[in-house]
Amino acid sequence: MTRVKMPGAGRGHHCGMAYVLLLIAHLLCAAAFIGVVFAEVMLMPAVKKRLPRPVALLWEKEFGRRARRIMPPIVLALYLAGVGLAWFHRGALAHPLQSSFALLLTVKIALAASVAGHVATALILQRRKRLTASRSDLIHRSVLAHVLLIAVIAKAMFHVAP
């Protein structure tokens, strides 16, 4: 069985295939989520400007419909895998100021919680018919900033000295 050295989990602590599978699931789901948010914030507005208005509206509607269909299970898997990974690092999380790994992981989790709060806010505003285009744009831009920062932190966690 494959063994992987886990940073932040204590000296000599190794994990098995479960950790590796959670890590891969988390990585792939994060890539999908970041990609969709990036497309919504950075690509769609520019593409819409170059298309005839009826085509742009149809394209935006269909993109949104597809995203609303496929993203919920991806986001659920992303967060569940994240919780599973955090469980492996619970020792480090119990003392977030004792290492750079633990501190970065704590910040990453806080940012992920903030993203969940953004999504919940958008869903509540949408249900109450108060999600305007400008509010949606602001939420999307904030989520993009959050997830890009999370990606940088995720990479730094394994390369910043303790």
On whether residue 113 sits in a domain, the answer given is yes
**For position 2, what pLDDT does the model report?**
46
CB of 33 within 8 A of CB of 73? Answer: no
Q: What percent of the chain lies above the pLDDT cut of 90?
A: 87
Classify residue 111: in a domain, yes or no: yes
Matching residue, tokens 């170059």: 50
**Residue 161 forms part of a structural domain:** no
> Into how many domains does the chain fold?
1
Helix axes 100-127, 133-156, angle to 10 degrees: 160
- The residue among 33, 59, 56 whose CA lies nearest residue 143 is 33
Q: Is residue 27 part of a domain?
A: yes
Q: Determine, yes or no, domain membership for 58.
A: yes
Residues 104 and 161: beta-carbon distance below 8 Å: no
| pTM of the predicted model as reported, rounded to 2 decimal places | 0.88
Domain-embedded: residue 162: no
Confidence of residue 123 (pLDDT cuts 50, 70, 90): very high
Cβ atoms 92, 102 nearer than 8 A: yes
Domain region containing 120:
4-156
Is 11 domain-assigned? yes
The number of beta carbons lying within 10 Å of the beta carbon of residue 77 is: 16
